[in-house]
Chain A
Amino acid sequence: MGIFNKKNKDTASSSGDNSYLKISMTKDGAEYTFLLEGRLDTITSPELDSKINEVIGDSKKLTLDFAKLEYISSAGLRVLLGALQAMEGKGEMVVRNLTAPVHEVFELTGFARLFNIE
């Protein structure tokens, strides 16, 4: 699992595309938490997609922390939708700490009703 191949409570972080999106991940057993910072748009979302796909196989709970996410577009929503579908029947997916602009996009698109928001 490359940089994620660490033991309990390991953390890893990376940033792509001139730091428009920083992704930090913590692992607690089969629980994975991604902390996103910056912009989740068409250019940056493939990076989140690949990181989620790397861990989703052995994940029982997937948490996406948007406390520092300032912007999300449909490309980001598509990644979340893919993750939600992948987690179905396997475990739980949670999004938390939505910032006001991200929350607005969730409301506009009806995604607020699809996800378990904390």
Chain B
Amino acid sequence: MKGFCEKKFTSMLISGTFTKAVMYLMLLSDSIIAGFFIGESGVAGINAITPVTAIVTFFGDLVSTGVGIVFTREVGAMKKRRADEIYGQGLIISIGIGLLSAFSIFLFQNVYFGMSGITGDILDKALQYYRFVPINAFLTIVIFYLEQMVYSDGDELCNNICYGFQIGGNIICSVILTKYLGMTGIILGSVIGNSLGILTCLGHFFRKKNTLHFVWHLSFKDFLLTSRYSIVDSSVYICWGLMDFVMIGFVSRNYGNLGLVTLAVVVSLIEFGVVMDGVGMAMQPLIGTYFGEKNHKLIKRVMKSGIKAAVIEGAVATVLIWIFAKQFCGLFGVTDEAALSSAIPAIRIVSLGFIFCSTVSLTTSYYMLIDRIAMATCIACFQNGLLYILLPIAGSLLLGINGMWAGFVIASILTLICAMLFVYLRYGKNNFPFLLNDMDSEIIVMEDTLTPESATILSRQVESSLASHHYPKEIVNRAALFTEEIGLSILENNKQAKKPLLIELSLFCEADNVLIIERDSGKLFDLTDPDNQIKGLSGFTLSGLMEAHSEKAYLVTTGYNRNMIRFYRA
């Protein structure tokens, strides 16, 4: 049965995968539109600006990924003020870096094109496109950040709508404007798409469940704290660049132009693998929150759901590539028979590694999220930088061109085996593979769909669990009472609710106290607020209980109510 965290994970997964797919489409859409409406010189013009867009993507990632992770952790630890500071600093820095990037791109236009050596029609097209690149760079960095934070705040619906407007607006406007403005129309379409996306994102700030509150905060230490999480993703892109560089040389020497065309499609397919990183993205807000709580039980449950999702996504992607191999090649302009006969088998072979590829991607995301950043980076570089070069070359030398493509598959499998073996040998059987032994508190997790009866049954379970842990009777009774009354109060506050209400309780059994963290899917209601209107006898009882205990907290987390109360031994 799917529990509370698994359901939220599924919901985040859809949005996470969508997000990554949109990011991939955004990278490709301008080239596809240019190829369709302008021609080869248009595509070449956009490709000439790839280093600029890569730098913008790098900065966008630098200011967004880590902030999302640290923000959810602080929320998980109920440190609202600190979470606000992290969010505030991230916003200031993203706007600052966005403006800096825009000015730099604007000022260094002549230097850049002078060094690039592009001339003629391609230069004309690139210059037309470049006209709005500075504005687009600013908008891209800001929207990267806003989307990451809205997602981290649990509003995947707003995020999906935002992406819909961003990509939809981009494509529609680009197609229309290209007819009148040529290359400038394409980039203007991107500007409009990003602007629409930002406007849609702002909608989240008017929603009741928004917890993103700006406070002015600037600290270099915090910037380092958040930016180190970007190392993993950045290293992957650097490794791909290296792999591309080495493989182009090797393939051109051994397989000529046809091999190079096929390699280009294969590299695009490997880049398509980032879509499967949506699983890692879906885990991020949940694991961040549970990491802040030190809730190792739920971290493991989310990770287990993640592994299942990664395997399924990998398998689905493999099947889709096998079926639509020709169409995928067509996206990159590979349409003639000779090129297709080389590219189709190549991408079909490479796609066989998708399940392992997505699992490796998930593994690196997981270890990054639990602060094993160096290990995550090493795993990512081992696969993308080392094995993606060595094994295809070895495969080519042993088995020819198909052996080369098979090398990419073996690289993912070998990375996974080596990574797991390393973790097992380095950290021991007991800590394998989650590495959460330092979170040693005893945790009991309970969950159910709320009814008056299930609230009572949960209360009885809390009672018997705490009694079996030898807590004094008064703590056992208070915890049981809290459980039943909070359940009944949620039902009272959500009488009109059509969807089933979910509740999840985590009991952290400490030596001198028990901490209860409650999550529910009811409408937002702060139990700790003394000014709240009390409904019913259960609300009255709960209010009395809450008033009698000083250590309590409430925080909307990933869009859900989250209450915390601690009962100390007398």
Taking the complex as formed, is B537 at the interface, i.e. its CB lies under 8 A from any CB of chain A?
Answer: yes
- Residues of A contacting B538 in the complex (Cβ-Cβ under 8 angstroms): 73-75
Q: How distant is B327 from chain A, measured CB to nearest CB, in Å?
A: 58
Name the CB-closest residue of A to B451.
A42
Are A71 and B453 in contact, CB atoms less than 8 angstroms apart?
no
Is chain B's interface secondary structure helix, strand, loop, or mixed overall? helix
Name the CB-closest residue of A to B539.
A74
Are B541 and A109 in contact, CB atoms less than 8 angstroms apart?
yes
Are A101 and B474 in contact, CB atoms less than 8 angstroms apart?
yes
Are B488 and A75 in contact, CB atoms less than 8 angstroms apart?
yes
Are A74 and B460 in contact, CB atoms less than 8 angstroms apart?
no
Are A42 and B455 in contact, CB atoms less than 8 angstroms apart?
yes
Name the CB-closest residue of A to B538.
A74
Q: How many residues of B contact A (CB 8 A)?
A: 26
The contact of A101 among B460, B477, B547, by CB within 8 Å, is B477
Taking the complex as formed, is A96 at the interface, i.e. its CB lies under 8 A from any CB of chain B?
Answer: no
Are A105 and B460 in contact, CB atoms less than 8 angstroms apart?
no
How far apart are the CA atoms of A81 and B541 in the complex, in Å?
Answer: 14
The contact of A73 among B453, B457, B481, B548, by CB within 8 Å, is B481
Are B481 and A43 in contact, CB atoms less than 8 angstroms apart?
no
Known interface pairs A39-B460, A71-B463, A73-B459. Does A105 touch B481 (Cβ–Cβ under 8 Å)? yes
Are B452 and A42 in contact, CB atoms less than 8 angstroms apart?
yes
Tell me which residues from 5 to 44 in chain A have a Cβ below 8 Å from any Cβ of chain B.
Answer: 20, 39, 41-43
Are B484 and A42 in contact, CB atoms less than 8 angstroms apart?
yes
Max count, chain B CB within 10 A of own CB: residue among A41, A70, A78, A101: A41
- Residues of B contacting A71 in the complex (Cβ-Cβ under 8 angstroms): 463, 477, 480-481
How far apart are the CA atoms of A71 and B460 in the complex, in Å?
Answer: 10
Taking the complex as formed, is B545 at the interface, i.e. its CB lies under 8 A from any CB of chain A?
Answer: yes
Name the CB-closest residue of B to A41.
B456
Binary contact readout B462-473 vs A (1 if CB under 8 angstroms, 0 otherwise): 010000000001
Is chain A's interface secondary structure helix, strand, loop, or mixed overall? helix
Known interface pairs A20-B460, A74-B538. Does A108 touch B473 (Cβ–Cβ under 8 Å)? no
Taking the complex as formed, is A77 at the interface, i.e. its CB lies under 8 A from any CB of chain B?
Answer: yes
Known interface pairs A74-B540, A108-B544. Does A101 touch B473 (Cβ–Cβ under 8 Å)? yes
Taking the complex as formed, is B485 at the interface, i.e. its CB lies under 8 A from any CB of chain A?
Answer: yes
- Residues of B contacting A41 in the complex (Cβ-Cβ under 8 angstroms): 456, 459-460, 484
- Residues of B contacting A42 in the complex (Cβ-Cβ under 8 angstroms): 452-453, 455-456, 484, 488
Tell me which residues from 66 to 113 in chain A have a Cβ below 8 Å from any Cβ of chain B.
Answer: 70-71, 73-75, 77-78, 81, 100-101, 104-105, 108-110
- Residues of B contacting A74 in the complex (Cβ-Cβ under 8 angstroms): 484-485, 488, 536-538, 540-541
Max count, chain A CB within 10 A of own CB: residue among B456, B536, B547: B456
How far apart are the CA atoms of A23 and B496 in the complex, in Å?
Answer: 35
Are B456 and A43 in contact, CB atoms less than 8 angstroms apart?
yes
Are B541 and A105 in contact, CB atoms less than 8 angstroms apart?
yes
Are A77 and B537 in contact, CB atoms less than 8 angstroms apart?
yes
Q: How distant is A64 from chain B, measured CB to nearest CB, in Å?
A: 17
Q: How distant is B506 from chain A, measured CB to nearest CB, in Å?
A: 21
Name the CB-closest residue of B to A100.
B474
Binary contact readout B511-541 vs A (1 if CB under 8 angstroms, 0 otherwise): 0000000000000000000000000111011
23 A-B Cβ contacts within 8 A?
A: A20-B460, A41-B456, A41-B459, A42-B452, A42-B453, A42-B455, A42-B456, A43-B456, A70-B477, A71-B481, A73-B456, A73-B485, A74-B485, A74-B537, A74-B538, A78-B537, A101-B474, A101-B478, A108-B541, A108-B544, A108-B545, A108-B547, A109-B544
* Chain B interface (Cβ < 8 Å from any Cβ of A): 452-453, 455-457, 459-460, 463, 473-474, 477-478, 480-481, 484-485, 488, 536-538, 540-541, 544-545, 547-548
Q: Which 10 A-B pairs have the closest CB atoms?
A: A108-B544, A101-B477, A74-B537, A74-B538, A42-B456, A74-B541, A42-B452, A43-B456, A41-B456, A73-B484
